[in-house]
């Protein structure tokens, strides 16, 4: 995903002289091509993520479209106050990019686990929160947020993820992307981020009758598309590498209940949320090991009636 991001960003930067990239003393073997091609629009701020976000805001107010790149929780949790007051309050054209979302840096333990930021960021007014599901979606999302005016966040996994789409999907704000859809399915998985790839592999082997949708936008989510899916399926599982509180599954439930309250929906599908059970994990291990330990799997779903 990170290689797709920088490749697409470079293509944009060749066309748009306003694109500026900041990093927090990382990205080695990834960001060097951008730095070499655009030395006047690249700056390594050092291990100073809060300062990086403040600097990005200043650059954006001078007309730049600024991308801030760092590992997982460092440009997010560490800089949450700067994102809220500097970026979002001023509606600054700043894009926060976090590589290594969820448990991607699992061997480095809790300090490098990024499992609360989607919920925190989606509560900030005006913040577009995204978690593309494969490199093709990263290509599309990098182009989208580069053209979208205003604060954005994009969560990336790390590297080596397989492509689920032959071509980058066409994205609209809040849009939902079908990954595998058959005729007459009564159950569907709604997934975000790299859990989309896990779901695609699992369903292909164990539940080919179940449909799969990627939600590259966690905030906003297109309400018309969400309503149409709620009317189509009787059983839905939401799947995310994030704490259950406030995350993607919560966003889906909020959206569905708002549609029910507004009279757009008369009934709701049965929803199963699959997420981290609101607890820290003190173990260190691979991403797959930690996902399994925290129950991020579709085993036993859907129920027999689906």
Domains 2-155 and 177-293 fall in the same CATH topology? yes
Distance from CA of residue 298 to its chain's centroid? 20
Please give the share of the chain, as a percent, with pLDDT higher than 90.
90
The whole-angstrom separation of Cα 134 and Cα 260 is 31
Residues 6 or more apart whose CB falls under 8 angstroms from that of 128 comprise 145, 148, 150, 151, 152, 153, 173, 217, 219, 220
pTM of the model: 0.95
Q: List pLDDT tens digits, range 207-224.
A: 999 999 999 999 999 999
Q: List pLDDT tens digits, range 3-47.
A: 999 999 999 999 999 999 999 988 778 899 999 999 999 999 999
Q: List pLDDT tens digits, range 99-156.
A: 999 999 999 889 899 999 999 999 999 999 999 999 999 999 999 999 999 999 999 9
Q: Domain 177-293 adopts which CATH fold?
A: Rossmann fold (3.40.50)
The residues with which 130 forms a beta bridge, in sequence order, are 154, 217
Q: Which of 107, 111, 104 is nearest to 193 (CA)?
A: 104
Q: Which of 43, 42, 39, 38 is nearest to 15 (CA)?
A: 38
Instruction: Give pLDDT, residue 303.
Output: 64
Q: Domain 2-155 adopts which CATH fold?
A: Rossmann fold (3.40.50)
Query: Residue ranges per domain, the chain?
Result: 2-155, 177-293
Verify cis geometry, omega within 30 degrees of 0, for the bond prior to 204: no
**DSSP 8-state symbol, 45:** -
């Amino acid at each position: 995903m990170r290689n797709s991001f920088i490749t697409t960003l470079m293509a944009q930067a060749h066309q748009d002289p306003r694109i500026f990239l900041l990093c927090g003393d990382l990205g080695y073997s990834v960001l060097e091509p951008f730095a070499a091609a655009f030395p006047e629009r690249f700056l390594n701020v050092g291990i100073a993520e809060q300062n990086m976000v403040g600097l990005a805001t200043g650059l954006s107010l001078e007309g730049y479209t600024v991308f801030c790149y760092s590992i997982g929780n460092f440009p997010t949790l560490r800089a949450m106050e700067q994102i809220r007051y500097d970026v979002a309050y001023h509606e600054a054209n700043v894009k926060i990019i976090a590589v290594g979302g969820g448990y991607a840096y699992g061997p480095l333990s809790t300090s490098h686990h990024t499992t609360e930021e989607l919920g925190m960021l989606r509560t900030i007014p005006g913040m577009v929160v995204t978690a593309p599901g494969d490199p093709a979606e990263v290509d599309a999302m990098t182009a989208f947020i580069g053209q979208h005016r205003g604060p954005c966040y994009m969560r990336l996994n790390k590297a080596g993820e397989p492509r689920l789409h032959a071509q980058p999907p066409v994205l609209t704000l809040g849009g939902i992307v079908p990954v595998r859809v058959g005729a007459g399915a009564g159950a569907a998985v709604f997934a975000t981020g790299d859990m989309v790839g896990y779901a695609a592999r699992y369903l292909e082997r164990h539940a080919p009758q179940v449909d799969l949708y990627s939600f590259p936008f966690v905030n906003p989510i297109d309400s018309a598309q969400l309503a149409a899916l709620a009317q189509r399926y009787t059983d839905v599982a939401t799947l995310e590498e994030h704490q259950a509180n406030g995350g993607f599954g919560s966003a889906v439930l909020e959206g569905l209940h708002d549609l029910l309250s507004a009279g757009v929906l008369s009934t709701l599908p049965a929803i199963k949320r699959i997420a981290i059970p609101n607890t820290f994990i003190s173990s260190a291990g691979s991403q797959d090991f930690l996902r399994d330990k925290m129950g991020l799997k579709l085993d036993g779903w859907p129920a027999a009636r689906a």
